[in-house]
Amino acid sequence: MKNATLHFEFHISITALIMFLLKTWRASAFGVYGYLNFTRNGFLYSLIFREHSKKFKPEDMEIRIEGKNCVVTGANSGIGFATAEALASCGATVYMVCRNKEKGETALSKIQSSTGNPNVHLEVCDLSSISEIKSFASRFSSKDVPVHVLVNNAGLMEQKRVTTSEGFELNFAVNVLGTYATTELMLPLLEIASPDARVITVSSGGMYTTPLTSDLQFSDGKFSGAEQYARNKRVQVS
């Protein structure tokens, strides 16, 4: 019985060691690959950000921003939902830009319920379509309200190469063109709110895993959704 126990413990220890080494190898390989591909400045900025993030104080979020109009794209889930909810909890008037109306309405209801803020609104727009973005911007402009904060959060990582009806690779259409077009068309409303206006684009550290190339729509070579996403995120901050 004692030998069986020792064998069991030894087996568990070996398994744990193998899992640890495997995770370490994967993390190291990912880090080395990124280090060899991203710029030196990008690497240094990532280290600086890591240090600054340690100084973040939760109480800095304890502010009231009633009267501020905030537009958040991709707001029905993830970072976008959390951002919209946080802004609403601070008293802001929030406009949630979502592609899916049903999911958007569900998210809106949750935020109104959790924050008690009735000034949360849904705007339906497919950010892979320039024509839809133009229609959204036109509708929103008719509200005649300034935009104090625009959060470009909507993003996509489609693993297959799909082309939109307007002829653009889908990831590129959402992550790059959609972000640019939304910001450009919102500029007049942001300028009204100046100097308090802010544009925040949610990028990703994943951009450091691949270099930026001129093949923005990934027309050449074997398509990779993850690599295209990384390229798109590099474009956002370039």
* 72: nearest Cα among 151, 148, 184, 136: 151
Distances (CA, A) of 173 to 78, 137, 168, 217: 20, 17, 6, 9
Three-class SS of 85-99 = HHHHHCCCEEEEEEC
Q: What is the rounded distance in angstroms from the CA atom of residue 107 to the CA atom of residue 127? A: 18
Catalytic residue among 33, 45, 180, 229: 229
Residue 58: is the preceding peptide bond cis (ω within 30°)? no
Catalytic residue flag (residue 229): yes
Four-CA torsion 71, 74, 77, 79, nearest 10 degrees: -70
Q: How open is the CA angle 146-128-158, to the nearest 5 degrees?
A: 130
Element (H, E) at 73: strand 69-73
* 69: nearest Cα among 113, 107, 117: 117
Paired tokens of 105? 């309405």
Tell me the backbone φ, ψ of residue 124, rounded to 5 degrees: -95, 125
Active site residues per annotation:
229
